[in-house]
Structure 1
Amino acid sequence: MLNFEELKSFLNEKADQYNNPDFIADDPIQIPHRFSLKQDVEIAGFLAATISWGNRKSIVKSAEKMLNIMGNSPYDFVLNHSDKDLDVLQDKSIHRTFNGQDFAYFIRQFNKIYKENESLENLFMIKDQETNFFHAIERFRSGFLETEKHRSHKHVSSPYKNSSSKRIIMFLRWMVRKDKHGVDFGIWENIDQKYLSIPLDVHTGNISRQLGLLSRTQNDWKTVEELDIAVRKFDEKDPARYDFALFGLGVTKELL
């Protein structure tokens, strides 16, 4: 097992190796990278992150399907769509269990939010004494989702129910993290990246356990917080950069 300094040096090296523009080509982050308007980036990013499970190629393909439906102008579509535009989505298949009904629901909810907010950032603000996005994600959920239960609610996971909330955490990394390598956008000015966590999935969880960063065996919110403690010791100002290291090690299977 590597000691603290060796592990830090190893992970820094791996983070730098994968945190570069080549990373974008095969990753769902390429979807918001097609836009420059802040709201386009947010909407395209949130939709791409929401369907980010399974094969990365199929995620990108499904996200492109949504972009095409929106005429490749997500913000304009959100603000100016007609009821008919959404009605025709009802029977469409989009990506696995995320279907046309879910897509239409998300568009409606975005419409409400952007009528009152210039940016989704307003719904994710961190409050005093908070150390991560645990409460902020729940505040977002209550602002984004209607109180009446809908099938689409399952696509916006809840840390209060001990979900690792991987896809939202990934979206937050994209929006918040100031990245001199040009992968993450860092377009949200009022949230510090020190509050970010690592998006926890099977691969990052397994790699983290192999490296001795995690002792918990399940991938849930408590494990997200355990990993927070570990990676913030390496870099308390930019802990989410280690997502690239853990992801890269998962892809290359270097540790097997």
Structure 2
Amino acid sequence: MQNDLKSFLDEKVELYNQPSFIPDDPISIPHQFSKKQDIEISGLFAATLAWGQRKTIINKCNELIKMMDHAPHDFILNHAENDLKQFLTFKHRTFNPTDTLFFIDFLKSHYQKYDSLETAFTNGMKCNMEVYLTNFHNTLFEHPDAPDRTRKHVATPVRKSACKRLNMYLRWMVRKDNKGVDFGIWDTIKPSQLICPLDVHVERAAKRLGLLQRKQTDWRAALELSENLRQIDPKDPVKYDFALFGIGVMEKL
């Protein structure tokens, strides 16, 4: 039975883990860039804004990238205060100018000290994903003037969240293969450690396939699903995100 499930899922991964997946997905935003830091920054915004209709998400992200002169890293490090005024009009659902400007300020501070955003998750240590995600949240909000309202846009396992968008972002940055979808530009976090992004589509497919029993869509559910996927492929469990998302969205089982 396990072998049948693996064969079925591997077939779906092969179908959906293809460049044709990119244009209609928020991952298309960081795919506009080749510089590591541009990919990290645009990817973080794309993942953070990834709720609602995918077409709207992509349009809003492109609007944001245009405000950064299509050079996110250079803009983050070298913008003048006057350059920030344009962001006072930017809004996506409940993500408003306060949130955008806080992210820009955090990113500037971070890249003045570090070469990569991976450090904000790892603090240079080898840990598990719960620690990495908690580190990122704590690092992001360590500034005493960090706005409380922005916290709702950045999940953490401490609040028992499934951390769907951050896990998706980490999949983009960490997974390494030759398919051209995920970037695989980070090395401290290993693909085997990743947690599957758990949204309504993935959850529905996982439950139908017997990969998830837990009723609540929370951190424990994300861990349960990921551990079951790890039984199928210990080195790259989250490649099955492509299969489950594809089944959940495109095929609806």
Aligned counterpart for 1:140 among listed residues 136, 140, 163: 136
Corresponding position of 2:31: 33
Partner Cα distance (2:31, 2:76) in 1: 18
Aligned counterpart for 1:102 among listed residues 79, 99, 102: 99
Aligned counterpart for 1:237 among listed residues 235, 238, 245: 235
Shift of 1:89: 2.1
Shift of 1:224: 0.5
Corresponding position of 1:114: 111
Aligned counterpart for 2:52 among listed residues 51, 54, 61: 54
Corresponding position of 1:168: 166
TM-score by length of 2: 0.95
Shift of 1:149: 4.9
Post-superposition Cα deviations, 1:187-233, rounded to whole Å, max 9, x if no partner, equal: 11222110011100111111111111111111100001101110000
Q: Which residue identity lines up with residue 142 of structure 1 in the other structure? A: N
1:28–1:59 contact (8 Å) kept in structure 2:
yes
2:102–2:146 contact (8 Å) kept in structure 1:
no
Post-superposition Cα deviations, 1:5-62, rounded to whole Å, max 9, x if no partner, equal: 1111101110111001000011100100000110000000000000001111000000
Corresponding position of 1:248: 246
Gaps of 5+ in 1: none
Partner Cα distance (2:153, 2:190) in 1: 26
Post-superposition Cα deviations, 1:105-132, rounded to whole Å, max 9, x if no partner, equal: 100000011111100111222855x4x4
TM-score by length of 1: 0.94
Shift of 1:88: 3.8
Counterparts of residues 1-256 of structure 1 (less than 5 Å): 3-90=1-88, 92-125=89-122, 127=125, 130=127, 132-145=128-141, 146-150=143-147, 151-255=149-253
Partner Cα distance (1:138, 1:147) in 2: 17
Partner Cα distance (1:238, 1:57) in 2: 29
Post-superposition Cα deviations, 1:55-113, rounded to whole Å, max 9, x if no partner, equal: 110000000010011011100110011222224423x1321111222111100000011
SS in 1 for 2:215: coil
Partner Cα distance (1:86, 1:47) in 2: 16
Structure 1 runs (4+) greater than 6 angstroms displaced: none
Partner Cα distance (2:138, 2:198) in 1: 23
Q: Which residue identity lines up with residue 165 of structure 1 in the other structure? A: C
Please provide the CA RMSD for this pair.
1.4
Residue 78 to residue 149, structure 1, CA distance change in 2 (3 Å): closer
Count of residues in Structure 1 that have an aligned counterpart in Structure 2 = 250
Q: Which residue identity lines up with residue 98 of structure 1 in the other structure? A: F
Residue 254 to residue 141, structure 1, CA distance change in 2 (3 Å): closer
Partner Cα distance (2:60, 2:86) in 1: 17
